[in-house]
Amino acid sequence: MSGINRHAPSKEEMDAVFALCRKNHWASCLQCLKTNPLIGITAMVMDNHIATTVCHQAITSKGDVQARAEVILQILSHTPEAATIANGYGSLCLHCACQRNVKMNAKTKERVIMALITAYPEALAQAGGVGQRTPLHIVFTDYVSPKLTRVMVSLGSKATFMKDKKGYLPLHVAVSRHVSPDKLRMLLEANPGAILEKTNEGSTVLGIAKATATKSHPNYALINALQEELKKYGGAALLATAAGVPERVGSNDTLDSPVARRQSKRKAKKGRSNITPASKRSKHSVAKHSVSTPAAADLLLHFCHTSQNIVPKTEPEEEPLLLHLSHSSHGMTEPEESLLLHFSHPSHSTAVVKTEPYAEEDFKPHAITQVAEV
């Protein structure tokens, strides 16, 4: 093709190209690449003295999306080896393209990722960047289509066994970002044992799923899917072990399920004394007390209805109430008088106790800090 030079670009030429990239003059940059394709595989130096390439710059820029995509595809079609070059941070172009903060629409982003994988499939199993993550780790910090996910997991299955600097497998990262059960199964098909792995801090896959659940992403389907998978590996004992979340603040991991919480409360109630202060009784617990005569039952019903409206009074104002109670006790049996004395004792203050069924929100775990990017 006429007009094409294949000489190694000089530093001055690359400085000029870098300036075009920084100014988002992608049409001019594209023309330079068409004139000399070797520009696409020649390193440039940024202002912070970190090495980069035109392809890296086109991916991470905030300029015109289509113009940048055209530059990337031009480079990969004429010099596919550009996909094998890491920048000064140790990241390949694929690492950069998989990040969630890339300024591209989903369709263009996936097109660029597929072009990079086609040019250099081995990049899927290469750790890069400060966090030493593979592209498979990084891609799960953002949403990509199930189709692209399957391609990346299939071609980069080796990466499903690779841990980053913090001991996270791609599965740990995916679960922390509310991955769908379908994508979860893709990862487990490639590496079934990943579900049992822990991070450097001791976090389990199930534990991360529970700890990162939020009001908008409660992770119900994900947690259920993980629990079903764990049952295949060791039943209830393994499931209980895998539920641990060391980094989860203010949570009792043994009481994560609604059933466990209710059972714990029932056990606590059984261990209490039969005589409970009136201030700690709910309407239901008061109604369960047995009474010996109809008169005592009427008196008990009276105090159940009126106790919620009683306002604590000063000592001089309590005398009329106590006097009234003492007059009401004439003609009662000894058990009735004891019951009356219990309710009239000035040390007891009334409180309304919640007796409604637990709401779904009561069982939602706290959220923890999101997984750091590359």
Axis-axis angle for helices 146-155, 181-190 (nearest 10): 10
Task: Give the mean model confidence (pLDDT) for residues 302-320.
Answer: 48
pLDDT the model gives residue 298: 59
Chain-wide mean pLDDT for the chain? 77
Task: Give the mean model confidence (pLDDT) for residues 200-224.
Answer: 95
For 328, half-sphere exposure in the C-beta direction (CA atoms, 13 angstrom radius) is 21
Instruction: Assess contact for 182 and 157: CB atoms under 8 A.
Output: no
State how far the alpha carbon of 194 is from the alpha carbons of 171, 188, 225, 232, in Å. 7, 7, 14, 13
Question: Tokens 């841990």 — which residue?
Answer: 163
Q: What percent of the chain has pLDDT over 90?
A: 59
pLDDT the model gives residue 66: 97
pLDDT the model gives residue 294: 55
pLDDT score of 209 more than 60: yes
pLDDT score of 363 more than 50: no
Query: pLDDT tens digits for 63-113?
Result: 999 999 999 999 999 999 999 999 999 999 999 999 999 999 999 999 999
The β-bridge relationship of strands 51-52 and 44-45 is: antiparallel
State the Cα–Cα distance between residues 177 and 140, nearest whole angstrom: 7
Residues 6+ apart with CB under 8 A from 123: 83, 84, 92, 93, 94, 95, 116, 117, 135
- Select the more confidently predicted residue: 269 or 314: 269
Query: pLDDT tens digits for 125-184?
Result: 999 999 999 999 999 999 999 999 999 999 999 999 999 999 999 999 999 999 999 999
Query: pLDDT tens digits for 325-350?
Result: 445 545 555 555 555 555 455 444 44
Nearest 5°: CA angle at 258, between 257 and 259? 90
Instruction: Assess contact for 160 and 187: CB atoms under 8 A.
Output: yes
CA 280 centroid distance within chain: 37
